Structure 1
Amino acid sequence: MDRISGLPRPILHDILARLPDKDSARTSILSKAWRETWFTFPILSICSPQFLRSQDIALESCRSKTDKLIEYVGIRLLRLRDRGLAIKEFKLMMNYVDHKYMSHHFDLWMKMAIESGCQVLQLHLPGDHYVATEYSQDRFYDLPLSVTESKSLTKLGLIGEIRVNQSFHTHSIKLYSLRKLSLCNLLFTHEGIIDHLISHCPVIEDLTVNNCGVYNPLSIGNPQVLRIIHVKSLFLHGLQKLKKVWVRGIQEIYIDAPNIEFFQYSANHPDASFKLNVDTLTNLTRLCLWNLKIIDGGDEYFLELFSKLPFLESLELCHCYLPERINIISAQLKVFKLYDCSNLKEVNIDAPNLLSLDYHGEDKPVLSFVRSSNQLQASVFTTVDYSHFYSLRDFIRNIPEKILASLSLFVIRPMRDDPYIMPALEVSCTPPSIKHLVLTAFSIPNNESLYVPLMNCVLSSCFPETISIRYFGPHAFIEFFYEMLMGSKKGECHCSSGNTKCWWHALKIVNISCSFMSNENSDLKAMLNASPKSFHANVITFSLEYYQPINVPN
């Protein structure tokens, strides 16, 4: 018996809500009961790629397929309205359609959803919208005023080629229940509209403003052509409920919202000037800064930052241009991330409660720890070529061994396949032990003479408990790596004294596993034959156990 079909309709609707949109739609063909469940489902997610493909645009059948899409959406909405059923969520993602042709239908569909008491409204009109580019006015869909008159909306997402006209600047906004607002790649005809819209959402908690623009008609040429520039400034005042903010592509941010807990800001590019006041963010716990040029503030910038943000627990600096030296001094900081920040040569950390340090980048600055927690774990991702292993080893040794949890290396192929360009690393003291080493190699040459120096340099830099290889290419390197670890190929010792063990003498036991096979008894050849084409799923892991290392005094 089909007992599921007999469940109460609210439970069946809950099942559909947990399925991907495509799978939930397919349930309508299972039975009459499921078809009725689908047509009364209060979550409408309309995605045009289910009806159209990019290659359909140039075909005569494109308009007929678009008409079928219009008919389908109309039937779904009318059934719900005629039965007096609410629409809880309405999502439109429209690719490959003529916005001008569809605008009347978009207006009607959103009006019906809003009048039904819709709580979640998302309109996504993807396009190649880039600021400082010329466009035709017909390209954009004009957002209707009715969207801002919904007292029931709790979440509103507007993305893509959508224009918000001058009439919104003076219109009465009634988004009294809105808690989450996302404005991405929109076009505003006046810069003040965005402030007016946000300021009239009194209970908003989560705000995203991403790469929005304003325009002026070109003074010369076709008056139907637009030139778009970034919105210059954003004012966030009087929003007492606001807790999470992500802003990208706006030069000046003025904030008076003291309850913000998470703030992420990204400039257009590292050379862009920016104004960002954090004086009122006294309750901020997480701060993410992207693409900023902070060098003008010098080292004092971060000292002042932490003095203004007494509860800051997480700081992320990504693709920023920083001073050569920064001091991170905070008793509250628990998470610190440095991703691809340039110009940096020295980082001094005095954070006794820091639990996590993530460093990504090609440069290898000196990391020093004045005070650190016994629970601190550091993860490092860096790029190396065959000539960088000396600097890598020095970089690793600057990090206390007890905190270096994982090291990820992206190995770059040398300019020429010459084994002598990689010097042997003599082991004057036992390399530091780490928990995990992740080795990524896209272009290791098919040259066995280069495998030995590469392997020696990697394992002369650290003693990992596990080595995970993410490898996309020939299997020869992995096979050689395994044979060297197992001792079936002769290695080369680089011990400088009898009291210090290199990896060749220190290694005791090797076990192998992979991410794509559950059989623990499989050998390497079976694993390689079964390895998937997907790079992220193609991981082979070696678990290593060493003899008790013996260190000599420095």
Structure 2
Amino acid sequence: MDYLSGLPKHILHDILAKLPSKDAAKTIALSKAWKDTWFSFPYLSVDCGDFITKHDVPIKNSYRFSKIDILIDYVTKRMLRLCDQGLAIKQFLLDLKYSLHPPHGSQSHDVDHWIQMASENGVEVLELCLPISIGSIKEDIWYDLPLCVIEAKSLTELGLVGGIRVDKKNFNHSMKFSSVKLLSLGQVLFTHEGVIEHLISHCPLIEHLIVDYCCVYNHLSTEGPRVEMNCFLKSLFLNGLQKLKEVELRGIEETHIDLPNLENIWYSESKSDGFGLNFDSCTKLRCLCISYWSAPTIADKWFLELFSKYPLLESLELCDCSTSEKINIISSQLKVLKLQDCPNLIEVNIDAPNLLSFEYHGYKYRYYDYRNPVIYFSRDSNQLEVSVFTNLHFREFYTLSKFFENIPRKILASLSLFIDQLPNDRYLPALLVSSTPPAPSIKHLEFITPSVTNREAPFGPLMNFLFSSCFPRAISFRGCYRPYAFIEFFYEMLMGSRKGECFCSSGDRKCWWHALKIVRISYSCSFMVDENADFKGVLDELRRSGGMDSITFSLEL
């Protein structure tokens, strides 16, 4: 008996909502109950990639009309069926990223019609993704946001991405964004600087705001209004939004935030000749993430003042930021710290007794030169875990060892290494034996390696050295191209069939795999995760795909 089909319809809808769109659509073949469920499903997600690919679009800016017509017919019928039954369209997601340009002409009329139907039938979540048109001076390739969106009372989430234009004249009408809690604007064109602030200010219940490289007309152009790559928003002022907890801001030259209740800020600057973020009044700030902050340099004084100004700050992330050579992180509240690609750092002193997670990503100074600062921990929590992502050239094992000297060995949880180059010569084993072990007893060792065309190459001796030194509990390989020959070699080494490569005689300790008892394999790619994979099956999949996302060997010693 099919008990699943007999479940209440709202539960079946919840099941469909958790499935990819293609898989959800296939359920109509299961039974009449599932077919009825699909046709009453109030979540409509349309990705033109399911109908059209980049290869389907001819060079002369036109579609293969049979496929675009199929898409239009599919969406229209789904919409009309829901409307005819008097059912709400709770969610409408329309992704037309494979189009050559935003819809125009008859296609624009169809999109207008869909959005109108959704708006009139209680749409709560509306997301519209169109091709990006920044850099074009053509007026007719921008899709004008319909007035019905501005007037939709039921919206709780609105996402606009790509070649969408929001005109100032729309705001002559009363806005109905009183229920919007999430507003996401990416690469959207505004006809006037004040339009975006006007839009945001009419969302009194907004909790999460994303502004990602939006732009305005360049009215100074002698050729008339045009859109250029340098026309990103000059400024944004946020105030008076009592419910707003999170903001993500990218590509704005100057931002002023006067929101005492704000808790999270993600900020990426758009220029290199000044500091454009002011958030002094955000005294309840808990998370601060700053990226691409190049000028002025973040001095040590900034860090010392940061934690006194914002006593609740628990998470700090700096990515590709220009800092002083020496910084001090002193906080009894900080729990998460991440430093990534900060080129000037030479020394980092961390005094954070409640820190739970520290993540460091090395900076690439030159093609084969990676700078890792000296990192000191004055006090550390018993729960602290340190994760390191760095690059390794075969001549620089000693720098890796020096980097780990001041990091307590008990807290190093994972180490990810990108192997730039290894020589295929007879001197490598001797070089490895003479090097100092990097760090013992880590939980996870990950390799991000370039293409490996043969089975052993020079990677066998390197891995034997690192694994003997680190005693990892899990070993992952990620980012390889056509890696199956090397993975097969590594698996055979794990299983003890290649003991002729053993380096036991070069030191007092036994090779690490001598104590190895159990090997488990997990494999993940873009469409599946298998926690208990069969190695032969994984190898066959690698041969078919030519690559992988990640393969992990879990070890029990």
TM-score, normalising length from structure 1?
0.85
Is the contact between residue 434 and residue 462 of structure 1 (CA under 8 Å) also seen in structure 2? yes
Distance 2:185 2:538 in 1: 47
Distance 1:327 1:239 in 2: 34
1:25 is matched with: 25
Distance 2:477 2:252 in 1: 41
- TM-superposed CA distance for 1:369, in Å, is 0.8
- TM-superposed CA distance for 1:526, in Å, is 9.2
- Cα gap change, 1:170 to 1:61, in 2 (>3 Å): closer
2:239 is matched with: 237
Aligned-partner SS, 1:11: helix
1:358 is matched with: 359
Aligned counterparts, 1:526-545, within 5 A? 533=545, 534-543=547-556, 545=557
1:310-352 alpha-carbon deviations (Å, 9 max, x no partner): 1011111112222211111111001111122212111100001
1:184 is matched with: 186
Q: Which among 480, 491, 498 is matched to residue 503 of structure 2?
A: 491
Distance 1:530 1:16 in 2: 28
- TM-superposed CA distance for 1:477, in Å, is 5.4
Distance 2:183 2:177 in 1: 10
Distance 2:210 2:477 in 1: 37
- TM-superposed CA distance for 1:519, in Å, is 7.9
Distance 2:70 2:442 in 1: 60
Is 39-48 or 376-385 further displaced after alignment? 39-48
1:385 is matched with: 393
Give yes or no for the alignment of 1:513 onto 2:520: yes
Distance 1:526 1:145 in 2: 54
Aligned-partner SS, 1:423: helix
2:331 is matched with: 330
AA aligned opposite 1:436:
H
Give yes or no for the alignment of 1:439 onto 2:447: yes
Distance 1:308 1:331 in 2: 14
Tell me the number of residue pairs that the alignment of Structure 1 and Structure 2 aligns.
531
AA aligned opposite 1:114:
S
- Cα gap change, 1:507 to 1:310, in 2 (>3 Å): farther
- Cα gap change, 1:430 to 1:170, in 2 (>3 Å): closer
2:99 is matched with: 96
- Cα gap change, 1:77 to 1:380, in 2 (>3 Å): same
Q: Which among 251, 254, 272 is matched to residue 252 of structure 1?
A: 254
1:185-205 alpha-carbon deviations (Å, 9 max, x no partner): 111111111111001100100
1:498-526 alpha-carbon deviations (Å, 9 max, x no partner): xxx45649964464332258889x8x899
1:145 is matched with: 147
Distance 2:35 2:452 in 1: 55
2:312 is matched with: 311
Distance 1:343 1:531 in 2: 40
Distance 2:455 2:259 in 1: 60
- TM-superposed CA distance for 1:157, in Å, is 0.7
Distance 1:429 1:38 in 2: 59
Is the contact between residue 469 and residue 539 of structure 1 (CA under 8 Å) also seen in structure 2? yes
Aligned-partner SS, 1:150: coil
- TM-superposed CA distance for 1:17, in Å, is 2.3
Is the contact between residue 417 and residue 450 of structure 1 (CA under 8 Å) also seen in structure 2? yes
Q: Which among 403, 406, 414 is matched to residue 406 of structure 1?
A: 414
Distance 2:138 2:532 in 1: 59
Distance 2:77 2:432 in 1: 73
- TM-superposed CA distance for 1:257, in Å, is 1.4
1:80 is matched with: 82
Is 249-258 or 506-515 further displaced after alignment? 506-515
Give yes or no for the alignment of 1:348 onto 2:349: yes
Distance 2:360 2:192 in 1: 41
- Cα gap change, 1:124 to 1:148, in 2 (>3 Å): same
Is the contact between residue 389 and residue 458 of structure 1 (CA under 8 Å) also seen in structure 2? no
1:383-439 alpha-carbon deviations (Å, 9 max, x no partner): 10111100111111221111112212221224x534437734547899643333223
Higher Cα Rg: structure 1 or 2?
1
Aligned-partner SS, 2:371: coil
Is the contact between residue 393 and residue 462 of structure 1 (CA under 8 Å) also seen in structure 2? no
